[in-house]
Chains A and B, each alone.
Chain A
Amino acid sequence: MTNYLEFEKPLAEIEGKAEELRALARANKEMDVEGEAAGLDAKASALLKELYKDLTPWRKCQVARHPDRPHCKDYIEALFTEYTPLAGDRNFADDHAVMGGLARLGDVPVVVMGQEKGNDTKSRIERNFGMARPEGYRKVIRLMDLADRFGLPIVMLVDTPGAYPGKGAEERGQSEAIARSTERSLNVKSPVISVIIGEGGSGGAVALATANTVMMLEHSIYSVISPEGCASILWKDSDKMREAAEALRLTAQDLKQLGVIDQIIPEPMGGAQRGRSESINAVGKAIEAELKALKKRQKGDALLKERREKFLKMGAKGLAA
């Protein structure tokens, strides 16, 4: 059962009809519907192309948040072997919104981590919808310590609406935890690669996106604030999220032009949710290639310096008028 987004409704109708026809034919062997159904299929695929040819920023937000999109856990399970989760911040708790541990990418041992949103009610609640608390960011710091100590590359997968805005999270130092994790990622000698696979939500994302190479899936987003939040502050009307999404320039294409990210990983037609394994493999290939490139430049603290320089220089390029 496909989950259709609001703007995909016309597509849902056509695909639904084709499906109905085929169901009828299955029940009634004499009926020949294949010609008609194939016509509908062609129509659907043309419409899909049309819809995804030039997604507006707000539609990209919807695609980036699509529940069927592969999540962190899917990537880790498919791309890595010997994944050994490591838990806890050695201070207060283990935050299930952030998963991570040791794993192999090909033969190479790495530390992999990321925010996991969950895929049904139970796992979403357990993962707190991918919104980390301070414990999550402190776990990130711990895993980076480990990687740094043993010279392991760090791979981070970003997918979060933002850091969790809760009472306990504030009391236990959400800001401090985020600040320290960003600081730690700027102190690691290992290669650091980050892929934004869905939502890169503000300060909660930046802590896992301070990397030598930051890549983004074609329809993922990365922003200082959610379009809804921005609309309610600047437009005083949260229904203006389309305008806000437009103004914030949160698409992979704009961010590449601004020099904030290094690479865009293409998604299959209709988004990662329609071609999950294709997307996962594309991400895997991109990470492997980058890891090789970074390893060549890894001498002493060369990658650390490179990473700092890269962020210091950021903002020199604006968007074309």
Chain B
Amino acid sequence: MNWISNYVRPRINSLFSRREVPENLWTKCSECGTMLFHREFTENLNVCTSCDHHMGITPRERFHALFDGNVFTEVDVPAPLDDPLHFKDQKRYPDRIKAARKDTGEREAMLVAEGKIGRTPIVAAAQDFSFMAGSMGMYVGNAIIAAAERAVAAKRPLVLFSAAGGARMQEGILSLMQMPRTTVAVQMLKEAGLPYIVVLTHPTTGGVTASYAMLGDVHIAEPNALICFAGPRVIEQTIREKLPDGFQRAEYLLDHGMLDRVTHRKDMKDELVTILRMLTGKGPAVMGDLPKPEDVVETKEKPEDAPAKPKDEAPKT
């Protein structure tokens, strides 16, 4: 019952609801207010065609655009305990999760997939800001560990797209423990000699920035993304002064030495391919939108060395 209501039903809903989106829907840019033709907007990867403002994009949409031939295989993430603290604020935590699943059609705040980009095999993980602000709880921790384990087993680089308000308060201390847990995942990659690239997207804050998002071999950010440990409001309250323009934005961090690059979303794929192929000693890449890889059957099938599905996969009731 739980599995069906929590997982299968939202997926089915999302399939149908997506088809219901009319072609002529308009989207308003949250920065400059320009009304954007929905189809053009999504074709431009949710970047405003007028002011270049990078709006949120779901992991599924991002992966669709990222992987060659729009093909990727999801990597299984072991389900954590539901509501380990029996947390209740104004709402019960399980109700908040249920609502987020219904709204997004996703199981949780991170999606892990494997496939090829520019004919380069990778594992990718992307955080979903639309799912409870992408907050890092047990599931996100499990997802990063699963991604790292898969990358190590298949000897592929890991590309991680971060987006989160921080740790998931409703999991209390267990969300904080995802900082060391995900750090161990990053260490697995480093010790296996595999590249770990972090793409920081708007916003990446709190405990997420203070763990896996700042431990990459290469840090790339999307333009104007807010990246910080303490949010600007907290800092203004603490130091009682106005912060400079652009404070804690991607370009500011680039200036202060915390990032390697700030890259437009439409150039991200080519840049990732270029960097990854050099880091892994492969020849120059074929760029652009590539058709489905010929050996796609292989990548779609579960390779033999895939981590076994853990026994606690079925969510607890």
Which A residues have a C-beta under 8 Å from some C-beta of B?
163-167, 169-176, 178-180, 182-183, 185-187, 202-203, 206, 210, 222-225, 230, 233-235, 243-244, 247-250, 255, 258, 260, 308, 311-312, 314-319, 321
Across the two chains, which residue of chain B brings its CB closest to A223?
B173
B169 & A234 in contact (Cβ 8 Å cutoff): yes
Instruction: Give complex CA distance A255, B89 in Å.
Output: 19
Cβ contacts A to B, 16 pairs, < 8 Å: A163-B210, A165-B229, A167-B239, A171-B256, A175-B213, A179-B212, A180-B215, A185-B180, A234-B89, A243-B89, A248-B85, A311-B180, A311-B181, A312-B181, A314-B181, A319-B86
A179 & B81 in contact (Cβ 8 Å cutoff): no
Which B residues have a C-beta under 8 Å from some C-beta of A?
80-81, 83-90, 138, 141, 145, 167, 169, 171-177, 179-181, 183-184, 186-187, 206-207, 209-215, 227-230, 234-235, 238-239, 241, 243, 247-248, 256-258
Q: How far is the CB of A8 from chain B (nearest CB, A)?
A: 27
Interface residue from A186, A243, A321 paired with B180 (Cβ < 8 Å): A186
B210 & A179 in contact (Cβ 8 Å cutoff): yes
A258 & B173 in contact (Cβ 8 Å cutoff): yes
Q: How far is the CB of A256 from chain B (nearest CB, A)?
A: 11
Most buried by A among B175, B180, B184, B247: B180
Interface residue from A173, A183, A225 paired with B257 (Cβ < 8 Å): A173
B169 & A235 in contact (Cβ 8 Å cutoff): no
Q: How far is the CB of A215 from chain B (nearest CB, A)?
A: 15
Q: Total A-B pairs in contact (CB under 8 Å)?
A: 165
Instruction: Give complex CA distance A222, B176 in Å.
Output: 10
Across the two chains, which residue of chain B brings its CB closest to A185?
B180
Across the two chains, which residue of chain B brings its CB closest to A176?
B214
A318 & B88 in contact (Cβ 8 Å cutoff): no
B81 & A234 in contact (Cβ 8 Å cutoff): no
Q: How far is the CB of A196 from chain B (nearest CB, A)?
A: 11
Across the two chains, which residue of chain B brings its CB closest to A205?
B176
Instruction: Tell me which residues across on chain B come within 8 A of A202, comparing CB atoms.
Output: 167, 176, 207
A249 & B229 in contact (Cβ 8 Å cutoff): no
Closest 10 CB pairs of A and B: A165-B230, A318-B84, A175-B209, A234-B89, A178-B210, A224-B176, A175-B229, A179-B214, A175-B210, A174-B229
Across the two chains, which residue of chain B brings its CB closest to A236?
B90
Instruction: Tell me which residues across on chain A come within 8 A of B183, comparing CB atoms.
Output: 179, 182-183, 186, 210
Interface residue from A163, A225, A243, A319 paired with B229 (Cβ < 8 Å): A163
Q: How far is the CB of A101 from chain B (nearest CB, A)?
A: 25
Instruction: Tell me which residues across on chain A come within 8 A of B212, comparing CB atoms.
Output: 179
Instruction: Tell me which residues across on chain A come within 8 A of B214, comparing CB atoms.
Output: 173, 175-176, 179-180
Across the two chains, which residue of chain A brings its CB closest to B175?
A224
Given contacts A183-B186, A315-B80, contact A165 B181 (CB under 8 A): no
Instruction: Give complex CA distance A258, B138 in Å.
Output: 13
Instruction: Give complex CA distance A248, B170 in Å.
Output: 7
Instruction: Tell me which residues across on chain B come within 8 A of A223, comparing CB atoms.
Output: 172-173, 176
A173 & B176 in contact (Cβ 8 Å cutoff): no
Instruction: Tell me which residues across on chain B come within 8 A of A314, comparing CB atoms.
Output: 174, 177, 181
Interface residue from B138, B235, B256 paired with A172 (Cβ < 8 Å): B256
A170 & B172 in contact (Cβ 8 Å cutoff): no
Instruction: Give complex CA distance A172, B256 in Å.
Output: 7
Instruction: Tell me which residues across on chain A come within 8 A of B81, comparing CB atoms.
Output: 315-316, 318
Instruction: Give complex CA distance A182, B209 in Å.
Output: 12
A203 & B184 in contact (Cβ 8 Å cutoff): no
Most buried by B among A250, A315, A316: A315
- Further pairs besides A167-B235, A179-B209, A243-B89: 17, Cβ < 8 Å: A166-B239, A176-B210, A179-B183, A202-B207, A203-B176, A224-B171, A230-B169, A248-B169, A258-B174, A312-B145, A314-B177, A315-B84, A317-B84, A318-B83, A318-B85, A319-B84, A319-B85
B85 & A249 in contact (Cβ 8 Å cutoff): yes
Instruction: Tell me which residues across on chain A come within 8 A of B211, comparing CB atoms.
Output: 178-179, 182
Interface residue from B167, B186, B241, B256 paired with A173 (Cβ < 8 Å): B256
Across the two chains, which residue of chain B brings its CB closest to A304?
B187
A203 & B229 in contact (Cβ 8 Å cutoff): yes
A233 & B84 in contact (Cβ 8 Å cutoff): no
Q: How far is the CB of B225 from chain A (nearest CB, A)?
A: 13
Instruction: Tell me which residues across on chain A come within 8 A of B247, comparing CB atoms.
Output: 167, 170
Instruction: Tell me which residues across on chain A come within 8 A of B184, comparing CB atoms.
Output: 186, 308, 311-312
Instruction: Give complex CA distance A243, B183 in Å.
Output: 31
Given contacts A182-B183, A234-B169, A255-B173, contact A170 B89 (CB under 8 A): no
Instruction: Give complex CA distance A182, B238 in Å.
Output: 25
Q: How far is the CB of B17 from chain A (nearest CB, A)?
A: 28
Given contacts A186-B187, A314-B177, contact A233 B169 (CB under 8 A): yes
Instruction: Give complex CA distance A321, B213 in Å.
Output: 34
A203 & B206 in contact (Cβ 8 Å cutoff): yes
Instruction: Give complex CA distance A208, B145 in Å.
Output: 22
Across the two chains, which residue of chain B brings its CB closest to A243?
B89
Q: How far is the CB of B314 from chain A (nearest CB, A)?
A: 15
Interface residue from B88, B179, B228, B234 paired with A206 (Cβ < 8 Å): B179
Q: How far is the CB of A168 from chain B (nearest CB, A)?
A: 9
